[in-house]
């Protein structure tokens, strides 16, 4: 292959090299125990999606250019150049991966395939083969951040509309979405959609929380795209905002990767310690319920309710109990999916895959395990605090005719809250 | 003004949550010729920022972005 | 025969020993001097204390409970191999130094009989495990994952085990003679006792050592470094 390109691509590995990556490259025994862990391999039987195979592509380059034995006898390791053939397969296996790390959970050496694939993404981007859609979404987010003033008008009018809706729900004319409130305790960094703001605002206002909304969203397509610099810029927007407003805590919404990005990745990208406490909104809601700051009536929700642990919040984020306690507070008919918690099957919708039309086939096939689990649970309502999971499960719901209602957890909470009905509220909802 | 523009593709993005309206516009932009126009109707207010930001960063043009009742109507022109 | 034994069981042992020790040292040095991952790669639930993390790392590495849950059969054969290999290693220490107590308890004959049984079982289990692995790799649905390295290592292991078993099952030479040979190596006054070279297993010792040397030389440059690296990688899981 072309020398210039080769230097560029091996340079990426060199720059990304670290102890864990090196060990993952050196120790994998290719035992393929990971095969039954991966929802995509299980769902498709396609070798491309075998976790060890995804990592093996990077290992083949590593062996050829970074390992003494591999340089000496490349044939022994099938070591090879990052040529077009390799990049074709790498693109397919890397951008399809949802980053759930279920393979790491079962690997006897705890090899983090998703971490290896973060290098794969950097290589693909350097080769001009980064996923176009994710790249565009990342660029659009960065553009919004750089030109915040341009969008302030529409954002503010959007927040005002949501404030109206909040007042209609709670019946309290004082309730609102706080914007640019200096000295608030909490900066709530939501998603762009109103569905992520409205119920949160209801809960914060009813709990009497000192909060303010971020002008930016928590979703980070730079992270999915695999460009650490873009990802850093996207997250930095709300970190700077939090600093400017002088808040004590950043609260992220019902979104899988947003929590992990803020809690775990941002420090590595920015090289500075995260200056704020990062909480998931469900940790706050759980606190409010337990402290009696908000009231929920049990069993206002019809049907049996189950809960899906989003991989980035559960296995990769460590929030297992708060959402369960909340769901149990609103219903007495709670059932678990099996397996659950850290062994939870990925639904197949993570890693930005729902935005990439080209992976629709494998995405739907990879949801097979989730469909089985949902059917076996007998639940009619699913609570799930991750946008990507919900999009995927709603689609599976339709395709497989599961007849499931898919809810955000905060929507369940709002539906279970008793509100003082006031004439204004009645008028507004009519 | 939107009445004067010839629309090549109608996209119904009602009910989709952000950033999906932007994703759908992006996926469909190659389905109209250069100079062609997509008319997209979304219900998520986040689209009011997302779609113009996407257009700016990808070098396309939003001819208009208007709120009509509970809907948000966009005219997006493909420039390249 | 004498030349063959001198090459494989004297000179070869020195070369393999040096390459193995230096290679492993170099491998550890490389790992230790590469900066840590900037991102904490741990997954949840995580033990809260360092002691808890170490305990989890040891359990994960030595027992692999998660692998047992997802593919019990593979786990069974892998455990069988590793435990038998450990037992065989412990047994081989007799050629460095006879164990205290046991021979007193069992008597010289009894000790040799015990070693014959224990070594025979360990060698057989290892052979079964390696054959299972070869089969799984060759006929499994993911055979495309395998590279020549995998087969090379399995072939070397099989060679070591078969020749070891041959000495165990067909030889009449006992630990005392092997100890004389091995201690002469350690004392840098190498000689192979006639009792070995003139026996029916002289050539099998030579071939056993040929495979052992090849395995030791290749060890630091192969995936077998998982014997050390898995401790570190499993620790990163809790960070």
Residue-wise pLDDT tens digits, B41-69: 999 888 998 999 999 999 999 999 998 98
pLDDT tens column, A367-396: 999 999 999 999 999 999 999 999 999 999
In the set B7, B9, B18, B62, the catalytic residue is: B18
| Bridge partner list, B37 | B77
Q: Is C45 on the interface with A (CB under 8 A)?
A: yes
How confident is the prediction for chain C on average, in pLDDT? 95
Residue B15 C-alpha, separation from nearest chain A C-alpha, in angstroms: 11
Structure tokens at C73: 């059969």
Residues in chain C within 8 Å Cβ distance of A69: 221-222
User: Once rounded to an integer, what is the mean pLDDT over residues A151-180?
Assistant: 94
Between residues 308 and 327 of chain A, which touch chain C (CB distance below 8 Å)? 314-318, 320
Min Cα separation B7/chain A (Å): 23
pLDDT one-digit tens code per residue, C180-213: 999 999 999 999 999 999 999 999 999 999 999 9
As to burial, measured by CB atoms within 10 angstroms (0-12 exposed, 13-18 middle, 19+ buried), residue C126 is buried
| pLDDT tens, position by position, C135-158 | 999 987 778 999 999 999 999 999
Nearest-by-CA chain A residue for C238: A110
Q: Which of A27, A32, A68 sits opposite C221 (nearest CB)?
A: A68
- Using 50, 70 and 90 to split pLDDT, how confident is the model at C99? confident
Closest partner CB to A357 (pick from B22, B27, B53) = B27
**Selected residues 92-111 of chain A with any CB under 8 Å from a CB in chain C:** 101, 104-111
B17 in contact with A at a CB cutoff of 8 Å? yes
CATH number of the B2-77 domain: 3.30.110.40
Q: Is the pLDDT of residue A349 over 90?
A: yes
Q: Which residues of C touch A29 (CB under 8 A)?
A: 223, 226
Does A136 touch chain B if contact means CB atoms closer than 8 Å?
Answer: yes
Asked whether C115 and C94 are in contact (CB, 8 A), the reply is: yes
* Contact flag C148-A111 (C-beta cutoff 8 Å): no
Average pLDDT over residues A70-77: 95
Q: Is B18 a catalytic residue?
A: yes
Contact assignment for A19 to C34 by CB distance below 8 Å: yes
Q: For residue B74, what are the β-bridge partners? A: B40, B65
If one looks up domain C2-236 in CATH, what number appears? 1.20.950.20
* C-alpha closest to that of B64 among B73, A4, C164, C215: B73
Q: Tokens at residue C124, please?
A: 């057989």
Check CB contact under 8 Å for B17 and A387.
yes
Multiple choice CATH, A134-290, 3.40.50, 2.40.30, 2.30.30, 1.10.10: 3.40.50
pLDDT for res C108: 84
- Residues of chain A in contact with residue B46, where contact means CB-CB under 8 angstroms, are 158, 191-194, 217
Q: Which of B13, B28, B45 to mutate to test the interface with A (most CBs of A within 10 A)?
A: B45
Whether A425 has a pLDDT exceeding 80, the answer reads no
Q: Could you tell me the pLDDT band of residue B3, with boundaries at 50, 70 and 90?
A: low
Of A147, A151, A193, the CB nearest to B17: A193
Give CA angle at C6 (C1, C7), nearest 5°.
100
ipTM field: 0.95
Determine the average pLDDT of the residues in C146-173.
96
Could you tell me which of A193, A142, A78 has the C-alpha nearest to residue B56? A142
CB contact under 8 A, B53 and A140: yes
Nearest to C158 by CA among C89, C90, C208, C86: C208
Q: Does B45 touch chain A (CB under 8 A)?
A: yes
Indicate the CATH number for domain A305-416: 3.40.50
Condensed to tens digits (0 to 9), the pLDDT of residues A14-57 reads 999 999 999 999 999 999 999 999 999 999 999 999 999 999 99
How far is residue C161's CA from residue C174's CA, in Å, rounded to a whole number? 17
Q: Give domain A3-130's CATH architecture.
A: Orthogonal Bundle (1.10)
CA distance B28 to chain A (A): 11
**Considering only CB atoms, which chain C residues are within 8 Å of A22?**
30-31, 34
Q: Find the mean pLDDT for residues C209-228.
A: 97
Chain A residue with Cα closest to B19 = A192
Neighbours of A292 (CB within 10 A): 8
Determine how many CB atoms are found less than 10 A away from the CB of residue A2: 9
- Segment among A413-427, B66-80, C2-16, C216-230 with least mean pLDDT: A413-427
Residues A31/A108, Cβ–Cβ less than 8 Å: yes
Confidence bin at A428 (pLDDT 50/70/90)? very low
pLDDT in tens, A93-115: 999 999 999 999 999 999 999 99
Look at residue B2 and tell me whether its pLDDT is greater than 70: no
Contacts of B65 in chain A (CB under 8 A): 154
**Tens digits of residue pLDDT in A257-307:** 999 999 999 999 999 888 899 999 999 999 999 999 999 999 999 999 999
Beta strands in chain C (DSSP E): none
Of residues B53 and B19, more confidence is placed in: B53
What pLDDT, on the 0 to 100 scale, is given for residue A423? 45
- What 3-state class would DSSP assign to C187? coil
Give kind and range of the element (H or E) at residue B76. strand B71-77
Asked whether the beta carbons of residue A19 and residue C37 sit closer than 8 angstroms, the reply is yes
As a whole number, mean pLDDT of residues B5-34 equals 90
Asked if A104's CB is within 8 angstroms of C223's CB, the reply is no
Rounded-to-integer distance, Cα C37 and Cα C33, Å? 12
A161 neighbourhood in chain B, CB within 8 Å:
45
| Distance, CA of A310 to CA of B31 (rounded, Å) | 34
Q: Residue A429: what pLDDT? A: 44
pLDDT, position A421: 55
The residues near A362 (Cβ < 8 Å, ≥ 6 apart) are A40, A43, A44, A46, A49, A96
Report the chain A residue with the minimal C-alpha distance to residue C226. A27
With contact defined as 3+ CB pairs under 8 Å, the chains touching A are B, C
Count of CB pairs separated by less than 8 Å, A with C: 145
Q: Do C43 and A101 touch (CB under 8 A)?
A: yes
Domain positions in chain A: 3-130, 134-290, 305-416
For range B9-14, the mean pLDDT: 94
Cis peptide before C45 (omega within 30 of 0): yes
Q: Which of B18, B53, B67 sits opposite A143 (nearest CB)?
A: B53
**Residue ranges covered by each domain of chain B:** 2-77
- End-to-end Cα distance, chain A: 68
Which chain A residue shows the shortest CA-CA distance from B24?
A355
| Shared fold status for A134-290 and A305-416 | yes
Residue to test with chain A: of B13, B19, B61, most A Cβ within 10 A: B19
Confidence band of C174 (pLDDT split at 50, 70, 90):
confident
**Nearest beta carbon to residue C146 from set A30, A112, A267:** A30
pLDDT for residue C1? 67
How many CB pairs below 8 Å do chains A and B form together? 82
Distance of CA A198 to the CA centre of its chain: 20
The minimum CA-CA distance between B36 and chain A, rounded to whole Å, is: 20
Whether A110 sits inside 8 A of C31 (CB atoms) is: no
């Amino acid at each position: 292959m072309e020398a210039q390109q080769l230097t560029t691509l091996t340079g990426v590995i060199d720059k990304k090299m670290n102890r864990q990556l090196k060990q993952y490259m050196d120790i994998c025994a290719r035992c393929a125990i990971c095969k039954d862990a991966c929802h995509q391999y299980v769902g498709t039987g396609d070798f491309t999606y075998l976790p060890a195979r995804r990592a093996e592509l990077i290992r083949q380059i590593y062996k050829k250019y970074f390992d003494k034995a591999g340089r000496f006898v490349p044939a022994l390791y099938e070591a090879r150049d990052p040529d077009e053939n390799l990049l074709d397969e790498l693109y397919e296996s890397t951008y399809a991966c949802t980053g759930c790390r279920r393979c790491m959970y079962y690997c006897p050496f705890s090899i983090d395939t998703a971490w290896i694939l973060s290098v794969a993404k950097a290589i693909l981007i350097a080769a001009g083969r980064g996923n176009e859609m994710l790249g565009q979404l990342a660029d659009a987010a960065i553009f919004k951040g750089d030109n915040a003033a341009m969008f302030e008008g529409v954002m503010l009018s959007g927040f005002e509309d949501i404030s109206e809706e909040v007042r209609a729900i709670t019946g309290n004319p004082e309730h609102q979405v706080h914007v640019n409130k200096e000295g608030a305790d909490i900066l709530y960094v939501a998603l762009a959609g109103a569905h992520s703001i409205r119920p949160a605002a209801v809960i914060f206002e009813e709990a009497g929380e000192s909060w303010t909304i971020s002008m930016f969203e928590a979703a980070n397509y730079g992270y999915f795209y695999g460009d650490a610099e873009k990802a850093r810029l996207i997250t930095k927007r709300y970190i700077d905002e939090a600093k400017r407003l002088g808040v004590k805590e950043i609260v992220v919404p019902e979104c899988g990767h947003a929590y992990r990005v803020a809690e775990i990745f941002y420090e590595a990208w920015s090289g500075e310690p995260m200056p704020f406490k990062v909480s998931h909104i469900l940790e706050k809601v759980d606190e409010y319920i337990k402290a009696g700051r908000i009231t929920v009536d049990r069993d206002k929700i019809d049907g049996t309710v189950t809960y899906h642990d989003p991989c980035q919040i559960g296995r990769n984020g460590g929030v297992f109990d708060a959402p369960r306690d909340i769901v149990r507070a609103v219903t007495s008919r709670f059932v678990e999916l099996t397996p659950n918690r850290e062994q939870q099957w990925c639904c197949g919708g993570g890693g930005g895959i729902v935005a990439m039309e080209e992976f629709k086939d494998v995405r739907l096939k990879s949801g097979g395990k989730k469909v089985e689990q949902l059917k076996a649970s007998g639940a009619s309502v699913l609570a799930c605090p991750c946008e990507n999971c919900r999009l995927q499960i709603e689609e599976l719901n339709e395709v497989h005719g599961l007849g499931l209602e898919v809810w955000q957890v905060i929507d369940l909470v709002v539906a279970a809250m008793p509100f003082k009905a006031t004439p204004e509220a009645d008028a507004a909802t009519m | 003004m939107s009445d004067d523009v010839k629309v090549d593709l109608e996209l119904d993005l009602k009910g989709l949550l952000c950033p999906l309206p932007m994703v759908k516009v992006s996926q469909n932009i190659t389905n109209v010729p250069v100079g062609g126009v997509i008319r997209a109707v979304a219900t998520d207010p986040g689209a009011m920022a997302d779609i113009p930001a996407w257009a700016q960063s990808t070098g396309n043009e939003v001819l208009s972005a208007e709120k009509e009742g509970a809907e948000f109507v966009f005219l997006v022109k493909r420039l390249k | 025969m004498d030349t063959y034994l001198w090459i494989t069981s004297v000179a070869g042992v020195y070369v393999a020993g040096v390459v193995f020790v230096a290679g492993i040292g170099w491998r550890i040095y490389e790992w230790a001097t590469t900066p840590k991952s900037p991102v904490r790669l741990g997954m949840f639930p995580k033990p809260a204390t360092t002691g808890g993390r170490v305990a989890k790392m040891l359990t994960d590495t030595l027992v692999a409970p998660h692998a047992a849950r997802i593919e019990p059969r593979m786990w069974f054969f892998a455990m069988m191999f590793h435990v038998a290999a450990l037992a065989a290693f412990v047994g081989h220490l007799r050629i460095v130094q006879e164990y205290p107590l046991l021979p007193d308890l069992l008597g010289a004959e009894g000790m040799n009989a015990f070693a014959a049984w224990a070594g025979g079982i360990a060698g057989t289990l290892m052979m079964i495990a390696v054959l299972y692995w070869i089969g799984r790799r060759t006929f499994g649905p993911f055979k495309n994952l395998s590279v020549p390295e995998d087969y090379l290592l399995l072939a070397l292991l099989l060679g070591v085990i078969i020749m070891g078993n041959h000495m165990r099952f067909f030889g009449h030479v006992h630990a005392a003679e092997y100890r004389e040979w091995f201690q002469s190596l350690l004392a840098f006054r190498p000689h192979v006792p006639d009792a070995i070279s003139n026996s029916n297993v002289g050539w099998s010792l030579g071939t056993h050592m040929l495979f052992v040397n090849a395995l030791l030389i290749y060890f630091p440059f192969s995936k077998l470094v998982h014997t050390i690296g898995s401790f570190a990688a499993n620790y990163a899981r809790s960070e």
